[in-house]
């Protein structure tokens, strides 16, 4: 591989790595597994980078490869046995006025997503990332109608888990 391609890849990935981190966080529950999946995503992205070049936006392409890796290819390696829960790590909210409501919501949201199955996780993730249905359907390889129906079911499941009574007063 030529050096400039590598440099381009590293800069693209470094800028967009947050997408991969978020995916790792919803598909794993501890730090070792998180880094393990992140590494597999990096391998898959780099392996296919020369084919991708310029076809679409890097981030759009990254959503697909990263989700595919999490759903289809990733197997937790033996060395990463389940340790302490990763969700204890604080994820801060960028709010000018400090308010912990959103932070609590975020923690609750991640915990709820962990209880969904792998496909529902992907659907909810793409919804939260504000992706259009056409892109969601294309990424997962299902029809638009199917994507809509599945999304509604996934959202209902998530709502049930989140249980509105705990925060609407």
The structure tokens listed for 114 are 């962990």
Instruction: Calculate the alpha carbon distances from 78 to 18, 21, 28, 59, 75 in Å.
Output: 26, 21, 14, 31, 9
Q: CB-based contacts of 132: which residues, under 8 Å, 6+ apart?
A: none
In angstroms, give the least distance from the CB of 149 to another protein: 6
Q: Report whether 113 contacts 26 (CB < 8 A).
A: yes
Told to check if 133 binds another protein by CB under 8 A, we report: no
Rounded Cα gap, residues 86 and 31, in angstroms? 6
Told to check if 103 binds another protein by CB under 8 A, we report: yes
Rounded Cα gap, residues 92 and 118, in angstroms? 25
The pattern of x and - marking residues 5 through 44 that bind another protein according to CB under 8 A reads -x--xxx-xx--xx--xx--x------------xxx-xxx
In angstroms, give the least distance from the CB of 135 to another protein: 11
Q: List interacting residues with another protein (CB under 8 A).
A: 6, 9-11, 13-14, 17-18, 21-22, 25, 38-40, 42-48, 51-52, 61, 64-65, 67-69, 71-75, 77, 89, 91-95, 102-103, 105-106, 108-109, 117-119, 122, 127-128, 130, 138-143, 145-146, 149-150, 155, 158-159, 162, 164, 168
């Amino acid at each position: 591989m030529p050096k400039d391609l590598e440099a381009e890849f590293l800069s693209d990935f470094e800028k967009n790595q947050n997408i991969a981190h978020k995916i790792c966080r919803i598909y794993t529950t501890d730090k070792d597994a998180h880094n393990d999946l992140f590494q597999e995503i990096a391998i898959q992205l780099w392996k296919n980078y020369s084919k991708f070049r310029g076809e679409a936006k890097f981030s759009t392409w990254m959503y697909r490869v990263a989700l595919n890796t999490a759903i289809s290819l990733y197997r937790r390696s033996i060395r990463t046995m389940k340790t302490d829960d990763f969700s204890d790590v604080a994820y801060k909210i960028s709010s000018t006025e400090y308010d912990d409501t959103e932070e609590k919501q975020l923690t609750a949201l991640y915990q709820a997503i962990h209880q969904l199955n792998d496909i529902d996780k992907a659907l909810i993730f793409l919804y939260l990332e504000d992706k259009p249905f056409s892109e969601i359907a294309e990424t997962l390889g299902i029809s638009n109608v199917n994507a809509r129906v599945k999304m509604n079911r996934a959202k209902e499941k998530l709502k049930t888990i989140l249980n509105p009574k705990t925060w609407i007063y």
